């Protein structure tokens, strides 16, 4: 089971030392975890995920190039047509005026499309996205796109009709350990590829609690062994 720690901002180097599989950086300005400035040097084993909300393609691709992102997470109302355009885009960023420079290609990063769940979910909406995304991510529907601190009813995923791997997100914290263990031992987790954590492991927005993360990682490793 992979682990993604999202909402990186104030202490990404410390978090990277825990060796998660993914680190998420939010490029949506209204977020209290909005990331800007220089990206710290991270181990090559950690994939950098850029989180976007209905961003123009050119803006998104500029961030992919600037920060050498390994994946983009689409947390807005992006259509399947948008994802398809992103899947096939080759774009020189605005910073690359030299026409001889290599364009950023979509095969250099994964596309993760987010779907928010409250009490139930119509899985038919996934059909149009099957061929244009690499992963799905299921989060809790809230007032903001992510980071709301609440879990949804994971039993909804028992009806998951796809073989596409997905990320499980939404309010997962230390108090979720028993519930998570039960889920990971259920048929609903068959295609669960990664666990995504964020706000429940913070001292402040974007400042992660390292000790709590260590405890969670140990628990997660125990649950899947």
Q: Closest Cα partner for 163 from 139, 186, 130? A: 130
Position 221 confidence tier, pLDDT thresholds 50, 70, 90: confident
Judged by DSSP in three states, 159 sits in: helix
pTM: 0.90
Average pLDDT, whole number, for the chain?
Answer: 89
> How far apart, in whole angstroms, are the C-alpha atoms of residue 15 and residue 37?
18
Position 94 confidence tier, pLDDT thresholds 50, 70, 90: very low
User: What local confidence, expressed as pLDDT, does residue 149 receive?
Assistant: 62
Q: Is the dihedral of CA 9, 12, 18, 22 positive or negative?
A: positive
Q: Closest Cα partner for 75 from 84, 83, 64, 67? A: 83
CATH no. of 2-224: 3.20.20.70
Rg (CA), the chain: 17
pLDDT of 191 > 50? The answer is yes
E strand or H helix at 71, and its extent? strand 71-74
Position 204 confidence tier, pLDDT thresholds 50, 70, 90: very high
Q: Is the dihedral of CA 148, 151, 204, 40 positive or negative?
A: negative
Is residue 140 within 8 Å of 115, Cβ to Cβ? no
């Amino acid at each position: 089971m992979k682990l993604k720690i999202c909402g990186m901002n104030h202490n990404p180097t410390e978090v990277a030392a825990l060796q998660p599989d993914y680190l998420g950086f939010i490029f949506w300005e209204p977020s209290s975890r909005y990331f800007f400035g220089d990206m710290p040097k991270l181990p090559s084993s950690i994939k950098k995920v850029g989180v976007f909300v209905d961003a123009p393609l050119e803006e998104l691709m500029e961030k992919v190039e600037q920060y050498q992102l390994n994946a983009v997470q689409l947390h807005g109302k992006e259509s399947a047509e948008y994802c398809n355009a992103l899947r096939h885009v080759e774009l020189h960023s605005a910073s690359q005026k030299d026409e001889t420079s290599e364009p950023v290609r979509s095969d250099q990063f994964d596309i993760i499309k987010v779907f928010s769940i409250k009490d139930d979910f119509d899985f038919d909406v996934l059909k149009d996205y099957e061929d244009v995304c690499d992963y799905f991510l299921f989060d809790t529907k809230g007032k903001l796109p992510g980071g709301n601190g609440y879990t949804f009813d994971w039993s909804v995923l028992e009806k998951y009709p796809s073989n596409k791997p997905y990320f499980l997100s939404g309010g997962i914290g230390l108090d979720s350990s028993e519930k998570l263990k039960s889920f990971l031992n259920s048929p609903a987790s068959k295609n669960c590829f990664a666990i995504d954590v964020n706000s429940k492991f913070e001292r402040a927005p974007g400042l992660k609690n390292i000790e709590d993360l260590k405890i969670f990682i140990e628990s997660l490793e125990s649950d899947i062994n």
